[in-house]
Amino acid sequence: MSTQPEPEFVDEPLSEQAVHDYLEANPEFFERNATLLSRLELPHGAGGAVSLVERQVAMLRQKELKLQRQLKELIDVARDNDLLAAKIHELCLQLLAAGDLQSCVSAVEEAMRAGFGADHSVLVLFADPDLFDDIEGGRFFRVVARDDKALGPFDTFLAGKGPRCGQVRDAQRDFLFRDDADEIGSVALVPLGNKSELGFMAIGSHDADRFHPGMSIDFLARVGDLVAGALKRY
């Protein structure tokens, strides 16, 4: 009488992935096995071991600190935006109160210098320079004909839309800031009107990182719209 050999069973080790999948599918496992949870220990980066609960608490603290930093950054951004909104509002009031072009130019210059903290700024108006001999603007106010050859380095900007920020070419910097050109690290160019139909403003900073291509330009665009609207009145 022959006997059938009993099947052999291979005791394969439990894989990490299998443990992972089981715990993920059974999140209540440690609730049913609370004593096991308290006995589990994990290696610590500084040496020794800590319980799983302690490790979880440490991870939660790190997550909380990260969230606190993110919240602080959001609050700082909101505070800065509130300050910018207040400055733009003040500029709007000053422009509404301006009764002539001279007052308008003076209000814009004061806003750039004191309100927005510009190290240097220039308002370039496209028109016949002979028609504006009575306007006192010092180095801030510049009137040039739209086809002036000196504007050649700005062709790409003037044909585009919206403000541009960053470092500018030497020819642009020399045209705008003249004797102060060497002090300029970065510049914001703000069109006045569609495709700079009225002209543009240049705001210069000693800081090379103050204006950069990745920064938000919303507030610059709003200032440009306000100034353009005020200039059209005259």
Query: Is 150 inside any structural domain?
Result: yes
Residues of the chain where predicted confidence (pLDDT) is lower than 70: 1-12, 34, 37-53, 55
> Is 217 contained in some domain?
yes
**107 and 222 fall within a common domain:** yes
Q: In terms of domains, do 113 and 226 share one? A: yes
Cα-Cα-Cα-Cα torsion 18, 20, 22, 26, nearest 10 degrees, comes to: 180
pLDDT at 128: 92
* SS3 (DSSP) at 42: strand
Separation of alpha carbons 176 and 188, rounded Å: 12
pLDDT at res. 27 = 77
> What tens digit of pLDDT does each residue of 48-83 get?
555 666 767 777 888 888 889 989 888 888 888 888
Q: Using one digit for the tens of pLDDT, what is the confidence trace for 126-142?
A: 999 988 888 888 889 99
Please check whether residue 121 is in contact with residue 204, taking contact to mean a CB–CB distance below 8 angstroms: yes
- Position 5 scores a pLDDT of 62
Q: Is residue 160 part of a domain?
A: yes
Give the residue numbers spanning the domain of 131. 98-231
Q: Which of 161, 218, 167 is nearest to 188 (CA)?
A: 167
45 lies in the same domain as 109: no
Q: Is there a domain that residue 89 lies in?
A: no
Q: What is the pLDDT of residue 63?
A: 86
Q: In this structure, are 225 and 152 located in the same domain?
A: yes
Residue 194 lies in a domain: yes
Tell me how many domains the chain contains. 2
